[in-house]
Amino acid sequence: MSVSDAPAPPRTARKARTGAGPLLRVLQVLLLPVLLILGWWAGSASSGSFYMPTPAVIAGTFGDVWFGERILTDALPSIGRLLSGFALGAAIGVGLGVVLGLSAPLRAFSEPVLEFFRAIPPPVLVPLLMLLIGVNTPMKLAVIVSGCVWPILLNTIEGVRAVDPVLTDTCRCYGIRGRRRLTTLVLRSASPQIMAGLRQGLSIAIILMVISEMFASNSGLGYAVVEFQRSFAIPEMWTGIVLLGLLGVVLSLLFGLVERRVLAWYHGLRAVTRDG
Amino acid sequence: MLDVTGLQKIYRGKERDVEAVRDLTFRLAEGELACLVGPSGCGKTTLLKCIAGLMEPTSGTVRLAGRDVTGPPPDMAVVFQEYGRSLFPWLTVRGNVELPLKEKKLPKERRAALVAESLEAVGLADAAGAYPWQLSGGMQQRVAIARAIAYEPRVLLMDEPFAAVDAQTRADLEDLIRTLWHRFSMTVLFVTHDIDEAVYLGQRVLVLSSSPTVIQDDVAVDLPDERDQLTTRADPRFTELRGRVYAEIQNAKRGTAAATTD
């Protein structure tokens, strides 16, 4: 017996390889965006509305607005706050989630309170946090954390609770405990749910980053969009919206890359079970 | 080596208590290969979990090499029936076999040597870098067996390890167990519901009654030490022994039927 009688690679992988050619694939990805931009162009050019500049005007303004000082004063501070808020939310969510996932009594004890806090829409906390913390970076981080922590926390709890009892017994038999048990059994086993929670948390964090800057701020992407709108710099306002969209796409792609690495085993296992 | 005395396990329920194991007493000598066989639902898994220290018996004791078993003992390894769920899918075959050795704090070279030796012994030397889910069911169970051997246990417990593999793979794995038992000189307790398998593998077959379980019979298997799927199974003595075990299990089932009617 050798590795050669292992099951063939999953069907999905084969399909992707023999499926659409590269040219067709590029067309698939680009066709709809190009059509949408053309439609927007036709609409905005024919209406001549002051509030609806053509894509050409927005593209022309984009460089002037963002490839200068604003990258330092608005874009980078926003991204910095977004990533630190998300990291903080992830650390709290996963840490607390593991503790609550492992302890049924603690879970029962804290569940009603968690349900209540989760039900509060995080933007309403902005006025309160402004009073408590002040108009500063810690306040914005607190807003981001208060929103993105929930999907991470709840998914981690579920993931930790769902650890296979046979694997738990295996760990006990072989004396695997403490830190090694936490990292090789609990966290790895819960990682598909944790990653799902992190993905949701990341999109919530982007939304809250913008909202926290719109309320009270003197820098940041949300602040810039509001400022442009108030001063009737309409094409500039549009470039801010486009930049936020692009930021979301880039972060989602980066997240996907990390996820594919971390969950390679999970996707492989799923593909085999689906085919089997 | 392994002493089980007056073992009883009662599951406390809301409505009623269920007595899974009533009174089990048996003893395994050092280096013995014994099979536990019994009708389905006779508490085999409960018994094995109590011996492995994964479950606390209601009364009675389990002693391993003179020490009471109160939790999983360090010189015992277990191979579970659900091979697909007892291997870590996020670790490679090598990673799975090595993990318990890391916890034992063995030096790196020693770990590598044990992993290589045990994977070679189960015939998976070239699968070390694969993930368990890339292997067939029989191969996955070989990985679980390699992990148990690498742990260098004095006692190896196996809970219906071949119940979920096909018949041909099963015959190969049975021979593998005999070979490994000779090579690594362990005490092996093999739980199965398959009478033929029990007689083919064991030096001794312990027949369990239906639940609540007691030892129904203790059969010494006086077949030659060198066993072979063809000649051993064709041996008239083999047929005789399996007939005896079969009859005992039928008695055990009738025993419960009689008990429930009165």
Q: Would an 8 Å CB–CB cutoff place B153 in contact with chain A?
A: no
- The DSSP symbol for A8 reads P
| pLDDT on residue A252 | 95
Distances (CA, A) of B217 to A159, B60, B209: 45, 20, 9
* Mean pLDDT computed over B22-38: 92
Q: What fold is seen in the domain B1-75+156-237+249-262? A: Rossmann fold (3.40.50)
- As a whole number of angstroms, the distance between CA A201 and CA A182 comes to 23
For residues B183 and A217, which has the higher predicted lDDT (pLDDT)? B183
**The domain A70-275 is classified under which CATH number: 3.40.50.970, 1.10.3720.10, 3.30.110.40, 2.170.140.10?**
1.10.3720.10
Q: How far is A11 from chain B (nearest CA, A)?
A: 13
For residue A176, give the nearest of B85, B103, B134 by CB distance. Answer: B103
Residue A9 has pLDDT above 60, yes or no: no
The residue assigned the tokens 């007595």 is B19
CA proximity to B190, closest of B241, B69, B178: B178
Residue B40 has pLDDT above 90, yes or no: no
Is B135 in Cβ contact with A3 (below 8 Å)?
A: yes
Q: Would an 8 Å CB–CB cutoff place A176 in contact with chain B?
A: yes
Burial label, B24 (beta-carbon count in 10 A; 0-12, 13-18, 19+):
buried
For residues B258 and A207, which has the higher predicted lDDT (pLDDT)? A207
- Residue A73 is which amino acid? T
For residues B143 and B16, which has the higher predicted lDDT (pLDDT)? B143
Q: Would an 8 Å CB–CB cutoff place B124 in contact with chain A?
A: yes
- The DSSP symbol for A124 reads G
- As a whole number of angstroms, the distance between CA A9 and CA A16 comes to 12
Best mutation target among B49, B64, B134 (most A Cβ atoms within 10 Å) is: B134
Is B126 in Cβ contact with A272 (below 8 Å)?
A: no
Cβ–Cβ < 8 Å for A45, A176: no
Cβ–Cβ < 8 Å for A221, A240: yes
Specify the length of chain A in residues.
276
Q: Would an 8 Å CB–CB cutoff place A6 in contact with chain B?
A: yes
Q: Which residues of A touch B99 (CB under 8 A)?
A: 174, 176, 180, 184
- As a whole number of angstroms, the distance between CA B57 and CA B69 comes to 10
Please state the domain extents for chain A. Answer: 70-275
Residue A207 has pLDDT above 80, yes or no: yes
Q: Would an 8 Å CB–CB cutoff place B190 in contact with chain A?
A: no
| pLDDT on residue A19 | 57
Q: In chain B, which residues fall in CATH 3.40.50.300?
A: 1-75+156-237+249-262
**pLDDT tens profile A26-43:** 888 889 999 999 999 998
CA A146 to chain CA mean position, Å: 15
Is A6 in Cβ contact with B130 (below 8 Å)?
A: yes
Residue A216 has pLDDT above 80, yes or no: no
Q: Would an 8 Å CB–CB cutoff place B78 in contact with chain A?
A: yes
For residue A269, give the nearest of B86, B123, B133 by CB distance. Answer: B133
Is B86 in Cβ contact with A166 (below 8 Å)?
A: yes
| pLDDT on residue B39 | 81
Contact partners, residue A76, CB within 8 Å, separation at least 6:
none
| pLDDT on residue B259 | 47
Q: Which residues of B touch A267 (CB under 8 A)?
A: none
Tell me the ipTM for this assembly. Answer: 0.89
**pLDDT tens profile B41-88:** 778 888 899 999 999 999 999 999 889 999 999 999 999 988 889 999
